[in-house]
Amino acid sequence: MLTKRIIPCLDVTLDEAGGTVVKGIEFVDLRKAGDPVELAKRYNEQGADELVFLDITASHEGRGTMIDVIERTADEVFIPLTVGGGINSIEDIRQILRAGADKVSINTAAVKDPDLIRQSSQIFGSQCIVTAIDCKRNTDVEGNPDKVILELEDGTPAWYEVVIYGGRKSTGIDAVQWAKKVEELGSGEILLTSMDRDGTYDGFDIPITRKLSEELDIPVIASGGVGNPQHIYEGFIKGKADAALAASIFHFGEYTVQDVKEYLRERNIPVRL
């Protein structure tokens, strides 16, 4: 069995300091968590398998990604670094990879121009292209007969709607159908974030995580809602995810990456220690 990856996520906003890691609930009510370069160094030392750096306001603010912060982060870490936020073109991707990133995460721009996934995967290779899918539960099942209907934990039928611009805009696009499409276009990985769970400490959104993990041949990174190591375990066992992304539990010192990995190893989840 392939080892499961533990991936700390740095949600970064531009400020007078040049960039600060923040964490909120359902993408709002942000609180500061520290300097991105210092946090990246800490997670590298703790044994993280990868890092994800998301410039969470770049698309909304209509600006490019913070290249200088990426360069400083890449100089300090020696594990794969994925960067997302404000990526709209092949040239944006080229700049970010040159700055030291190993992969790019495309979200809003992919929804607006799906061909960007096809072009970028052909130019840079599928292994470089991660499609980030932010989604929200929608219980309007009768009005959406063409959607993929899943059963929530309490038995309620729902479909999952793709949202863009950092969760600010609904698209009407079904997340399962969209994930299948971007896989066909050449995306090498899916970063799946449930907005209903983001920052809540309630655990991953298992129904959508499991559905994508079962339907796709490419890896699925589960994101949104981790409050303790048990939630990550459930993401792997119940959600069948290939990797688990977490932020708050690491940023605010509740657990280290090592704590999580030891917890998982004790429960026979293969991890790199």
Please list the active-site residues: 11, 134
Task: Show Cβ contacts of residue 190 under 8 Å, excluding neighbours closer than 6 positions.
Answer: 130, 131, 132, 133, 179, 182, 183, 212, 216, 218, 219, 220, 221
Provide the 3-class DSSP secondary structure of residue 230.
helix
| CA-wise closest residue to 138 among 63, 42, 207, 227 | 207
Provide the 3-class DSSP secondary structure of residue 158.
strand
Asked if residues 44 and 77 have their Cβ atoms less than 8 Å apart, the reply is yes
Angstrom distance (rounded) from CA 47 to CA 50: 9
What would the two tokens of residue 247 be?
């932020």
